[in-house]
């Protein structure tokens, strides 16, 4: 988490003054920029406090306004929490007054509680910094100190932020008894400069930057860890005389530390939880059926809520507590599944994992930055692994939640044993939306009735949308999933089947109209039956830095049967096109059977992430698809 978050409030305010000498020079260097970070500096000190590894840091940042602002305040937040205490916060504006800067201290720096509605209970707090008079030449300056209760949680630093910056430094100071490792990411051009030196009895590692651009937001990006220059650092070990004590020198060290958080999760054989587990699985004939029934029960009966309060960010509640309250976060739901299965003498395992928004792996950096999620895992007698993420309500057994595909999973077998496994990426063919539609023409209106079927992640995400308590909202989402042809598409009626049956495809029977869809020119009718146009004109900037992400790979397969109107014959029928660019594929085929014109259309998105090296291929594919989307069938009136 970034320690500071920013927002701009736009109100009109201007002041006339002479400009400071350095303003023109910086304006020339950062042309067209509204403001820059003059500096972003952080000095971290690692130390031992009794038997615990602690850290403090001093943060100093300055914004320099290069243009008169249209607002009279720039608001920022400095964040802290149980593990990261904020102190000695100071903030002031430097306002240019004729020939010198005048410092105006900020008042009202009071601690406030975060009101994130997505989190049930959160110990995060913040201070709001509101700087007035942001005119050209003025500066916003702030500094504060941080105290980290556990230095293992301090392992990530981003060098870029929401404004360009003239300079920045990160210093890590530590005694010789601490052995530190680090790894730089996303700095292919070598903009981050490193040096190390001694300071008394301590070692100092220093990274410095100059003239960095701002972080640029890009649509459907995979997360800033994929493209913003960042440093991962972690403590390998501590030297205690002749003994070297490991801290995070390996995945085993991380697992040992994580394992301590599970000390409260053992279940009594005579508990209510055990009795319930037996009741839920009473009719199950196999072990896998029992796993499915427990997994589905937790999905359906335990409400997900997030907790971020001190150790509760790491330690799950006892399964009995979660069962009693009927709610919990990912750790609680995972522990409940493990507890219920273990009560049935079925081995299952707590599993730490990161979602795809985090680009890191345990193999490269065995630190807490790798994961932000917990699930349960079951391994059958054939060594097939089932990833049980009950926070994904509509996901069937055997399908991992979409956000953990491709990620490393850390399975805790016992106090000393773990497994590191990679979650598979589910093939696009297993997340299929198929659509079979009968069409006819009436007064230039395309009228159709269809049957759509959704499987895999297509079903999961459609189910989330269809499962609305307000009927009008449900129809809005069903329309969005079935929409075809043009923005004149009208869904007239529909029925949904298997919404709550995780093991069957979601099915929708529906009727629709598309008015004014056919163009009539003389004795000819022009009809475009490319009724869906995936990623139409969705070209990527060749200089894009972030991967383009899809929540899951998926495919469409649609068959349209158009009844050829009486008195008409086919004048022109496009040829079969099969376009395979690996990351995306498209095919469309036209044929005639009796008085029916049949169009078979398919599309697959085969890559979760489209990286910069693949952008040209993507753009070529999308351009070729666009040509096929324009193909039109011509029907001619018989003479």
Report the percent of the chain where pLDDT is more than 90: 74
Report pLDDT for 3: 44
- pLDDT at position 193 over 70: yes
- pLDDT at position 606 over 90: yes
What is the average per-residue pLDDT within 47-68? 90
Under the banding of pLDDT at 50, 70 and 90, the label for residue 423 is very high
- pLDDT at position 17 over 90: no
* CATH of 428-637 given 2.60.120.1130, 3.40.1000.10, 2.70.150.10, 3.30.360.10: 2.60.120.1130
Q: Cα separation of 339 and 347, whole Å?
A: 10
Greater model confidence, 340 or 13: 340
Under the banding of pLDDT at 50, 70 and 90, the label for residue 71 is low
Report pLDDT for 518: 93
Interior/surface letters 364-392, b for 16+ CB within 10 angstroms, e for the rest: ebbbbbbbebbbbbbbeeeeebbbbbbbb
CATH 3.10.620.30 residue ranges of the chain are 255-422
- Assigned token pair, 52: 């615990």
- pLDDT tens for each residue of 455-484: 999 999 999 999 876 777 899 999 999 999
What is the average per-residue pLDDT within 155-162? 92
Task: Measure the CA angle with vertex 182, ends 180 and 187; round to 5°.
Answer: 160
Domain 255-422, classified CATH 3.10.620.30, yes or no: yes
What is the average per-residue pLDDT within 386-410? 96
Lowest mean pLDDT among 179-188, 262-271, 600-609: 262-271
Average pLDDT, rounded, for the chain:
90
Q: Which CATH class is domain 4-246?
A: mainly beta
- pLDDT tens for each residue of 88-136: 999 999 988 878 889 999 988 888 876 554 444 456 789 999 887 568 8
CATH 2.60.40.3140 residue ranges of the chain are 4-246
Report pLDDT for 137: 87
Q: How many CB atoms lie within 10 A of CB 591?
A: 11
Under the banding of pLDDT at 50, 70 and 90, the label for residue 312 is very low
Under the banding of pLDDT at 50, 70 and 90, the label for residue 609 is very high
Report pLDDT for 114: 61
Strand segments (E) across 430-575: 432-442, 445-454, 490-497, 506-514, 519-521, 524-527, 548-549, 554-563, 568-572
Report pLDDT for 25: 84
350 within 8 A of 357, measured Cβ to Cβ: no
Report the percent of the chain where pLDDT is more than 70: 92
Q: Cα separation of 68 and 60, whole Å?
A: 24
Report pLDDT for 100: 87
């Amino acid at each position: 988490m970034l320690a500071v978050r920013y927002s701009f409030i736009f109100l009109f305010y201007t002041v006339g003054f002479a400009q400071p000498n350095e303003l023109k020079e910086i304006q020339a260097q950062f042309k067209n920029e509204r403001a820059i970070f003059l500096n972003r500096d952080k000095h971290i000190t690692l130390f031992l406090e009794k038997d615990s590894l602690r850290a403090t840091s001093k943060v100093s940042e300055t914004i320099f306004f290069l243009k008169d602002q249209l607002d009279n305040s720039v608001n920022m937040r400095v964040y802290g929490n149980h593990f990261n205490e904020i102190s000695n916060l100071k903030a002031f504006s430097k306002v240019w007054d004729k020939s010198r800067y005048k410092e105006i201290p900020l008042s009202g720096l009071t601690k406030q509680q975060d009101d994130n509605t997505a989190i049930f209970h959160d110990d995060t707090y913040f201070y709001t910094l509101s700087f007035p008079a942001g005119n050209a030449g003025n500066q916003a300056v702030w500094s504060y100190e941080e105290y980290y209760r556990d230095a293992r949680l301090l392992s990530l630093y981003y060098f870029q932020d929401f404004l360009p910056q003239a300079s920045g430094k990160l210093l890590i100071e530590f005694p010789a008894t601490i052995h530190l490792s680090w790894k730089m990411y996303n700095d292919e051009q070598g903009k981050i400069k490193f040096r190390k030196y001694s300071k008394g009895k301590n070692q100092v590692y220093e990274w410095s930057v100059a003239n960095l651009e701002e972080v640029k937001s890009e649509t459907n990006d995979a997360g800033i860890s994929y493209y913003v220059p960042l440093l991962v650092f972690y403590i390998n070990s501590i030297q205690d005389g002749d003994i070297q004590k490991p801290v995070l020198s390996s995945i085993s060290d991380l697992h040992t530390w994580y394992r301590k958080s599970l000390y409260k999760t053992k279940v009594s054989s005579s508990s209510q939880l055990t009795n319930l587990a037996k009741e839920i699985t009473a009719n199950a004939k196999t072990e896998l059926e029992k796993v499915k029934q427990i997994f589905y029960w937790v999905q359906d009966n335990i409400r997900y809520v997030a907790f971020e309060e001190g150790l509760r960010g790491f330690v799950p509640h006892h399964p009995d507590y979660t069962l009693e309250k009927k709610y919990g976060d990912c750790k609680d739901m995972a522990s409940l599944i493990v507890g219920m299965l273990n009560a049935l003498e079925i081995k299952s395992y707590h599993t730490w994992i990161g979602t795809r928004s985090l680009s890191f792996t345990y193999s490269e950096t065995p630190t807490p930055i790798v994961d932000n999620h917990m699930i349960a895992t079951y391994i059958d007698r054939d060594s097939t692994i089932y990833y049980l993420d009950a926070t994904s309500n509509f996901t069937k057994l055997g399908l991992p939640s979409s956000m953990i595909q491709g990620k490393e999973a850390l399975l805790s077998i016992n106090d000393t044993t773990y497994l590191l496994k990679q979650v598979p990426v589910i093939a696009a063919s297993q997340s299929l939306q198929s659509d079979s539609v009968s069409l006819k023409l009436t007064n230039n209106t395309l009228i159709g009735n269809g049957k759509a079927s959704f499987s895999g992640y297509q079903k999961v995400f459609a189910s989330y949308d269809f499962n609305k308590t307000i009927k009008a909202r449900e129809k809005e989402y069903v329309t969005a999933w079935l929409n075809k042809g043009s923005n004149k598409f009208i869904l007239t009626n529909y029925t949904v089947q298997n919404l709550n049956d995780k093991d069957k495809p979601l099915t929708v029977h529906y009727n629709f109209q598309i008015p004014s869809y056919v163009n009539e020119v003389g004795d000819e009718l022009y009809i475009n039956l490319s009724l869906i146009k995936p990623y139409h004109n969705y070209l990527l900037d060749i200089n894009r830095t972030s991967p383009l992400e899809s929540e899951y790979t998926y495919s469409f397969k649609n068959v349209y049967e158009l009844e050829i109107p009486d008195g008409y014959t086919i004048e022109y029928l496009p040829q079969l096109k099969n376009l395979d660019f690996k990351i995306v594929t498209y095919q469309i085929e036209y044929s005639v059977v009796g008085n029916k014109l049949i169009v078979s259309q398919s599309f697959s998105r085969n890559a979760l992430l489209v990286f910069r090296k693949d952008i040209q291929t993507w753009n070529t594919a999308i351009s070729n698809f666009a040509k096929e989307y324009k193909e039109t069938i011509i029907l001619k009136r018989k003479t």
